[in-house]
C-alpha cells in the first residue's frame, strides 16, 4: 500500500489543501494529514478544532486519516511506515523552499517527496491569507471547506 504524509499546520485547512489531497488520492492508497504541533507558533485554531475540521471535511473518504505529531516529519513518516511526503506548490518560491526540505529529507532518510502543482483557480489561497481575513472580519468562506466556517 502506498501511503503519503501530507504535513502542515492547517491553520486552517483550505480548499487548496482539499484539492491537493483528493488529487493525491489518485496516486496514493492512503493519505495521512499530519498536523505539526509547534508550541512556539501562534495558532488561530486549537489542535482539536483543526482535527475536527479536517475529519469533517473528509468524513466520506476513508482513505484520508488525520494525526498530529511533534518533531521531524521524516520521523513521523517512519513511525507510520510511510515512504512519501506529499506537498503542494503554488509558485516558484514554494518550489525553492520545498526543494531544499525534500533534498534534506532524502539525505537523512529513504523518504521521497512528491510535489503537485496547485490547481490554477486555487493557487492564490493560503492559510495565512485566510487567517488574516478571519481576524479582520473579511469574507473567507469561498476559500475554505464548510467545516471551517463559524
Task: Dump pLDDT digits (tens) for 118-150.
Answer: 999 999 999 999 999 999 999 999 999 999 986
Q: What is the mean pLDDT of the chain?
A: 95
Give the cell for residue 53. 475540521
Considering the candidates 41, 92, 93, 107, report the single residue annotated as catalytic: 41
- Give percent above pLDDT 90 in the chain: 92
Task: Determine contact, residues 18/57, Cβ cutoff 8 Å.
Answer: yes
pLDDT band at 40 (very low <50, low <70, confident <90, very high): confident
Q: Active site residue: 3, 78, 90, 131, which one?
A: 90
- Catalytically annotated residue among 9, 82, 113, 127: 127
Is 114 in contact with 27 (CB distance < 8 Å)?
Answer: yes
- Told to judge if 63 belongs to the known catalytic residues of this protein, a careful annotator would answer no
Q: What was the pLDDT predicted at 24?
A: 98
For residues 11-39, give the mean pLDDT: 96
For residue 85, is pLDDT > 80? yes
What are the structural domain ranges in the chain? 3-148
CA atoms of 122 and 91, how far apart (whole Å): 12
**Residue 90: active-site member:** yes
Mean pLDDT of 37-47: 85
CATH of domain 3-148: 3.40.50.620
Q: What is the pLDDT of residue 150?
A: 65
CB 110 within 8 A of CB 36: no
Instruction: Inform me whether the pLDDT recorded for 39 exceeds 70.
Output: no
Which pLDDT value is given to residue 20? 98
Which entry of 9, 17, 82, 113 is annotated as an active-site residue? 17
SS3 65: strand
17 is catalytic: yes
Amino acid at each position: 500500500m502506498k501511503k503519503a504524509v501530507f504535513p502542515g499546520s492547517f491553520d486552517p485547512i483550505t480548499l487548496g489543501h482539499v484539492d491537493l489531497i483528493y488529487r493525491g488520492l489518485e496516486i496514493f492508497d492512503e493519505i495521512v494529514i499530519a498536523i505539526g504541533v509547534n508550541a512556539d507558533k501562534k495558532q488561530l485554531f486549537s489542535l482539536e478544532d483543526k482535527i475536527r475540521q479536517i475529519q469533517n471535511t473528509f468524513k466520506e473518504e476513508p482513505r484520508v486519516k488525520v494525526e498530529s505529531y511533534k518533531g521531524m516529519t521524516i520521523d513521523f513518516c517512519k513511525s507510520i511506515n510511510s515512504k512519501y511526503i506529499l506537498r503542494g506548490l503554488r509558485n516558484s518560491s514554494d518550489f525553492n523552499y520545498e526543494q531544499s526540505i525534500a533534498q534534506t529529507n532524502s539525505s537523512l532518510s529513504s523518504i521521497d517527496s512528491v510535489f503537485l502543482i496547485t490547481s490554477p483557480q486555487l493557487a492564490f489561497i493560503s492559510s495565512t491569507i485566510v487567517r488574516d481575513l478571519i481576524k479582520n472580519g473579511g469574507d473567507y468562506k469561498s476559500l475554505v471547506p464548510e467545516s471551517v466556517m463559524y
